[in-house]
Amino acid sequence: MPDPSAGAEPATVAGSAAAAEPNTVAEPVEVTQPESNAGDANPDAPYDTVVIGAGPGGLSVALNLVRARRRTLVLDSNRPRNAATLHSHGYLTRDGISPLELRKLGQAEIEGYPDGEFQLALAQTITATDGGYTVEARGVRGAPNRTVRTRTVIISTGVVEVMPALPSLRAFYGTSLHSCIECDGYESRDQPLALIGETADLADRAILLSQWSADVIVFTNGVGVVTPDDEALLASRGIPVDRRPIADVDGDRTGLTGIRLQDGTVVPRTAGFLRPVYEPSLAFAADLDLDTNDEGFVTTDAHGRTSRNGIYAAGDSTQPGPQQLIIAAGAGARVAATVNRDLAFAG
Ligand SMILES: Cc1cc2nc3c(=O)[nH]c(=O)nc-3n(C[C@H](O)[C@H](O)[C@H](O)COP(=O)(O)OP(=O)(O)OC[C@H]3O[C@@H](n4cnc5c(N)ncnc54)[C@H](O)[C@@H]3O)c2cc1C
C-alpha cells in the first residue's frame, strides 16, 4: 500500500494551479489516494477530508470544503479554550457574540450541506493507510467511537494554556482576567489592571496594555523576567514592576478586587491579563512525526500544508501561535482552498 507521506509515489499532476489562478494558491502538491468521494453515497468510502477540531479554524475549513462538494467529517472533543468567556470580540459582524454561539452557528452552516457531517469525538490516532489516512476517535458526550478513512486530514485543534499556578485564577478567567489583550482590552479600559506572567515578554505585553489603561502593574510572581533596561522603560511609561511571589487573586461577585501577594499585601486591581504558555494539542498526531517549530507548533507552507502529503493545519495549532478568531477562520478558508485544489489535481 502506498504511504501518503513525502516518500510515497505521487500521482501525476496535470497542469498548474499557478497558471489557472496565479494570485491565489500555489502549485498543488500530490495527494496520493485512488478513490474519490464526490457524490459517493457509500458510507464506508473514505472521506475527502476529516477536520479535527471545530473552532473557527476547523469550521471555516469545513464550510469551504462542503461548499466545494467535498465529503467532510468534523470531529470535535467539545473543549473550546475560549468557553471561559461569555463574549468574543473583534470578529467582523459578530463583535460581542458568545463563543459557543459562534461555534453553533458554524456547525449548523456545515450540516446544512449534504457533504457535511459533525461529530463530538476526541481524535486519538492518525495513521497512514491505503494511500490516505485512518483516524481513530473516541466519542464524547454519548457519541459513538469512530474509525474512519480519509484522503486528507486537517489539524485545527488549537492550544492548551498553561497558567501561573494561582488557586483562584480560573474563577476570574474570562470575566475579570483575560489572556488576549487585543480581544478584551477595550472592555478593561481605564481600569486598574494587573499583568501577571512568568515569561520573558512581560515588558512588551505591558506596553501594549498601556494603550487601554494608564494604570498597569506588572506582576512577575517572583519568576517572570523583566530586565533592568525593560524595567527602566516601563518606569518611564509609569508602569511599575512588582516582583514579589503571588499567593492568589482576590475577588467577589463583582469580579476581581486585588492581587494578594505572599507577604500578605493585597494590591487593589479590578481586571487584568495573564500571560499563559501555549502548548499545541497534538498528541493524537504523534505517529505522523510532523515538522514543528521550537515551541511545538505545526509548521506549514504558506497554504497550510504540513510536512506530510495530505495533512494540513489551520488556526492556533500553527505558527505563529495563538491569535484571534477571525485569523483562525481566515486561515481555515485558505487551507480549504488548498485542500480542494490538491484533491482536484490528484483526481
Ligand atoms: C478566554 C479566551 C477568550 C478569547 N477571546 C477572544 C476574543 O474575544 N476574540 C478573538 O478573536 N479571539 C479570542 N480568543 C482567541 C480565540 O478563541 C482563538 O484564537 C481561536 O478560538 C482559535 O481557533 P482554532 O480553531 O485554532 O482553535 P480552537 O478554537 O481552540 O478550537 C480547537 C478545537 O479543537 C478541539 N480539539 C482539541 N483536541 C482535539 C482532538 N484530539 N480531537 C478532536 N477535537 C479536538 C477542541 O475541543 C476545540 O473545540 C480567546 C481565547 C480565550 C482562551
Cα distances from 12 to residues 8, 34, 129, 305, 341, in angstroms, run: 12, 12, 20, 18, 14
What is the average per-residue pLDDT within 21-29? 41
Domain 17-160+278-346 is found in CATH 2.50.20.10? no
CA dist 219 and 245 (Å) reads 8
pTM confidence score: 0.89
Supply the DSSP symbol for 284. G
Q: Could you report the per-residue pLDDT of 174-228, keeping only the tens digit for each?
A: 999 999 999 999 999 999 999 999 999 999 999 999 999 999 999 999 998 899 9
135 lines ligand 1 (CB under 6 A): no
Q: Which of 63, 76, 78 to mutate to test the pocket of ligand 1 (most atoms within 8 A of CB)?
A: 76
CA dist 51 and 48 (Å) reads 10
Residue among 290, 299, 340 nearest 5 (CA): 290
CA dist 346 and 55 (Å) reads 28
- Asked if 272 contacts 206 with a C-beta cutoff of 8 angstroms, the reply is no
Mean pLDDT over the full length of the chain: 89
> Residue 17 is inside which H or E element, if any?
helix 17-20
What residue ranges do the domains of the chain occupy? 17-160+278-346, 164-275
Asked whether this chain's domains 17-160+278-346 and 164-275 adopt the same fold, the reply is: yes
Residue recorded with cell 512581560: 202
Q: Give residue 109 CA to ligand 1 midpoint distance, Å.
A: 18
Query: 2-11, 68-77, 85-94, 218-227: which has the minimum mean pLDDT?
Result: 2-11
Q: Could you report the per-residue pLDDT of 273-322, keeping only the tens digit for each?
A: 999 999 998 999 999 999 999 999 999 999 999 999 999 999 999 988 78
Cell of 147: 474509525
Nearest CA to ligand 1 atom 30: 158
Q: Could you report the per-residue pLDDT of 35-52, keeping only the tens digit for each?
A: 444 444 577 789 999 999
Q: Which of 75, 76, 77, 81 to mutate to test the pocket of ligand 1 (most atoms within 8 A of CB)?
A: 81
Give the model's pLDDT for residue 15: 29
Give the model's pLDDT for residue 41: 53
Q: Give residue 75 CA to ligand 1 midpoint distance, Å.
A: 14
- Asked if 147 contacts 266 with a C-beta cutoff of 8 angstroms, the reply is no
Band of pLDDT at residue 166, cut at 50, 70 and 90: very high
Using a 10 angstrom Cβ sphere, with 0-12 exposed, 13-18 middle and 19 or more buried, the burial of residue 141 is exposed
Give the model's pLDDT for residue 255: 97
Phi and psi at residue 243, in whole multiples of 5°?
A: -95, 5
Please state whether beta strands 255-261 and 146-155 pair in parallel, antiparallel, or not at all (unpaired).
Answer: unpaired
300 lines ligand 1 (CB under 6 A): no
Q: Which of 102, 172, 324 to mutate to test the pocket of ligand 1 (most atoms within 8 A of CB)?
A: 324
How many Cβ atoms sit within 10 Å of the Cβ of residue 172? 21
Nearest CA to ligand 1 atom 49: 80
Band of pLDDT at residue 7, cut at 50, 70 and 90: very low
| Nearest ligand 1 atom, CA 316 | 26
- Asked if 333 contacts 312 with a C-beta cutoff of 8 angstroms, the reply is no
Q: Give residue 80 CA to ligand 1 midpoint distance, Å.
A: 5
Q: Which of 150, 179, 325, 327 to mutate to test the pocket of ligand 1 (most atoms within 8 A of CB)?
A: 325
78 lines ligand 1 (CB under 6 A): yes
CATH superfamily, with its number, for domain 164-275: FAD/NAD(P)-binding domain (3.50.50.60)
Backbone conformation region of residue 279, classed left if phi is above 0, alpha if psi is from -120 to 50, else beta: beta
Q: Could you report the per-residue pLDDT of 94-107, keeping only the tens digit for each?
A: 999 999 999 999 99
323 lines ligand 1 (CB under 6 A): yes
Give the model's pLDDT for residue 322: 85
